[in-house]
Amino acid sequence: MSQVRVRFAPSPTGFFHIGSARTALFNWLYARHTDGVFVLRIEDTDKERNTDESLQVLIEGMHWMGMDWDEGPEVGGEYGPYFQSQRQPIYDEYLKKLKDAGRTYEKDGAIWFKLEGERYTEYDDFKKKEIEKVKAAPVVIDDAVRGRVERAEEMDFVIVRKDGNPVFHFVNVVDDIAMGITHVIRGEDHLSNTSKHVELFNAFGVKPPVFAHIPLILKESGPGKMSKRDKGALIEEYETRGFLANAVRNYISLLGWNPKDEREKMDIDEIIELFDFPGINKGNSRFDEKKLSALNTEYLREMNVETYAFLARPILHTAGLIEEDADEDYIQSVLSLCQGKARSLEELPEFCRYFFCDEFEMNEKTGAKIAKKADPKELLAEIVPVIEGIEAFTADALQAGLEAHAESKDAKVFAYFPALRYALSGQGGGPDLLPMLVVLGQERVLARLKAFIA
């Protein structure tokens, strides 16, 4: 068997849509699984939409997701150029082959591809006129995902527009032939184009590649596939929101593919090892940001605190919570407490705000709930002297001091904890309480408690 060669052929539009990212990822995974070649080919013939800035969004998104390509922009290759706008001489050469074989004709200023078969006319109710059709032999597509698909083209179709620009069907097939593409992995919405493409492959005397049409990604709620306007549709947004590329890549790999067990979190080497066409679903996949967020949280919580702090630092700085030269030891102490509780880097600034500034929002519902059981100011007034008297400000010393005080009042030590947490953070939940006090420091803890009581 010849070496597998797959391609991702996007048209840069200024966005890196999750559907495009999933197509790129499935091609990349299959290339890596088979020790094949992953080609990045840019369909940039629309000069108005396909700007350098649009291309950069795509390139940066691919790099962020860790999808390297073996041939294409930035790396070159022996089958270039890898921009359609630079391949016109190749298209001219292949168009001449079709003309010489008698498979084209001109009409209305355009060049049409001529199907083989008996011709007849039929009245078209939509066009309100007689049109010519062809009894062409059915095209059989042994799709690696969909199975056997049989379609028949019944009308000739345009391959070069009257403005001289070749159409998608023609350049797509020519590029796949010229670049030796062996497998075409693309969205199910391209299945309707495939019979045209097979007709062109046959006309060139070239065996078509293996087709694998993957299921669509449906929007989170309601009918229809995800569009760029739907929440969660753009890859670049995940980067700016502090999602981890590994988590996003892991989640997207499961949109239409599964490893045939219940696992969801897998490292990329394991996904590469398992990825193959039999694992791709026929049914469409529905995007679920909650599942993506949960997976992202798993990745965050398994990370070492140094890496976590490296990722969190710019986010905390942007939120105005730290300066660029903020103490690294203090930041890591805070994050070692918050890492296991915060659901995302995006939520981290609000989750840990009270560690970095004395002005923070007090949750009124939490305050009211605490006040129903006892006056929090009275409880805290009792324990301020206890905290003042602790010499070595450690979690163990705090636990011992507070337990001794609670016992003297014939109370449970946990009766003081909700009011203590609320006065120090404004919240009803968060990191473990006593380690939280230790990180905040004795001086800051006492200042906040006294301000709350006053």
Q: Any idea which residues carry the catalytic annotation?
A: 228
**Complete DSSP assignment for 109-155:** TEEEEPPPSEEEEEEETTTTEEEEEEEPPPEEEEETTTEEEEE---S
> Measured in whole angstroms, how far is the alpha carbon of residue 24 from the centre of its chain?
11
Q: Rounded CA gap, 182 and 169, in Å? A: 17
Torsion of CA 184, 185, 186, 191, to 10 degrees: 60
Which residues, at least 6 apart from 64, have a Cβ–Cβ distance to it below 8 Å?
Answer: 235, 239, 245
CA atoms within 13 A on the CB side of 134: 15
Q: Which two tokens stand for residue 8?
A: 């991702």
What single letter denotes the amino acid at residue 254?
A: L
Q: Rounded CA gap, 308 and 348, in Å? A: 11
What residues pair up with 131 in beta bridges, in sequence order? Answer: 122
